[in-house]
Amino acid sequence: MNDDRLEAGFIGAGNMGQALIAGLVRSGVAPDAIGFAEPDGDRAAALRAQFPGLVLRGPQELAAEVRTLVLAIKPQTLPQLAPSLAIEVTAAEPLVVSVAAGITTDRLAGWLGPETRIVRAMPNTPALIGAGITGLFANPHASARDRETADRLLGAVGTTVWLETEEQMHAVTATSGSGPAYVFLLIEAMTRAAESLGLDPATARRLTLATVTGAARLADESGNDPAELRARVTSPGGTTERAIAIFEQAGFVELVETAMRGAAARSRELGG
């Protein structure tokens, strides 16, 4: 086996692939120790201009040249791509890290080879600014050292949580994987409502964003239960109590759970 392999290689250089590459570079990995495969020529050129030294390869060539192979592509494309990497993965034995939603480690091993060391990851889009959180699960062939490698890779773009069972990945997908979109929807709705109440768009946006980020930070740093924090804001007979009552009458809590169960169900469907 070649000991001069690249530190990591990424098949797919979309938003998540780019975020992980940027995170590795920020953590001290030299760009010329990182490879990637990306069919979009303009995207590949832009990434190499951003990080001079990045190694551009085809998928099979990349799989044969890296210590860690990151599958950063859409889950729908894996059934076609993954089997084409089996010969190289079996020979070079890289750690395979997959960020494809819904695709199980067993299914990946069926395509890549039964002894493949695999870590499945579910990051989220705040990874783009180094503020992500990733759920991780390792298959039985992955060693403690492999887990450390995956932890460093995803830890370069935020924080990580290791899961006890792979089934829990569906809940992670519905919570933190899809969760940023729920928050963005809330931001959209609050901003639109603020404008309808007479605020100009810039002020509505500024107030909404500061409120959401501040509330999240308070919930994280105070150590208090969110229900307690909510109660502190909700004075009897006040404005917040009126708003919360309307949310509750509309079934807000039940709606959130129903939506997240739908996301988890779709994660299972993607797993085939």
- Mean pLDDT of all residues in 230-257: 97
pLDDT average, residue stretch 190-197: 98
pLDDT at 1 over 60: no
**Pair 198, 149 in one domain:** no
Say if residue 55's pLDDT is above 90. Answer: yes
The mean per-residue pLDDT over the stretch 37-55 comes to 94
Which pLDDT does position 272 carry in this prediction? Answer: 65
The tokens describing 229, both together, are: 């924090």
Q: What is the dihedral of CA 163, 9, 272, 80, to 10 degrees?
A: -170
**End-to-end Cα distance, the chain:** 34
User: What are the DSSP calls for 174-196, one per residue?
Assistant: IIIISHHHHHHHHHHHHHHHHHH
Give residue 3's pLDDT.
64
Q: What is the CATH number of the domain that holds 257?
A: 1.10.3730.10
The answer to whether 29 touches 54, Cβ cutoff 8 Å, is no
**Res. 135 pLDDT band, cuts 50 70 90:** very high
Residue 118 sits in a domain whose CATH number is 3.40.50.720
Rounded to whole angstroms, the Cα distance separating 161 from 71 reads: 19
Same domain, 167 and 185: no
Which ranges of the chain would DSSP assign to H, the alpha helix?
A: 15-26, 41-50, 59-63, 78-81, 86-92, 105-112, 144-155, 168-172, 179-196, 201-222, 226-233, 239-249, 252-270
Q: Tell me, yes or no, whether 195 lies in a domain.
A: yes
Instruction: Print the domain residue range for 192.
Output: 179-270
Whether residues 81 and 33 fall in one domain? yes
Q: Is the pLDDT of residue 240 over 90?
A: yes
**What's the pLDDT at 175?**
97
Strand bridging mode 6-11 / 132-138: unpaired
The tens digit of pLDDT for each residue in 143-177 reads: 999 999 999 999 999 999 999 999 999 999 999 99
Same domain, 101 and 234: no
- Per the structure, the count of domains in the chain is 2
Mean pLDDT of 226-249: 96
Per the prediction, the chain carries an average pLDDT of 95
Tell me, yes or no, whether 147 and 187 share the same domain. no
**Mean per-residue pLDDT for 9-14?**
94
Give the residue from 40, 94, 26 showing the smallest Cα distance to 62: 94
Q: Is 102 left (phi over 0), alpha (psi -120 to 50) or beta?
A: left
Q: Does the pLDDT at position 118 exceed 80?
A: yes
Same domain for 166 and 192, yes or no, is no
For the CA atoms of 231, 233, 239, 241, the dihedral, rounded to the nearest 10 degrees, stands at -10
Is residue 165 domain-resident? Answer: yes
Among 172, 196, 220, which residue terminates a domain? 172
Contacts of 122 (CB under 8 A, 6+ apart): 99, 101, 134, 135, 136, 169, 172, 173, 176, 177
pLDDT digits (tens, 9 = 90+) for 61-107: 999 999 999 999 988 899 999 999 999 999 999 999 999 888 999 99
**Given the structure tokens 């829990």, which residue do they identify?**
168
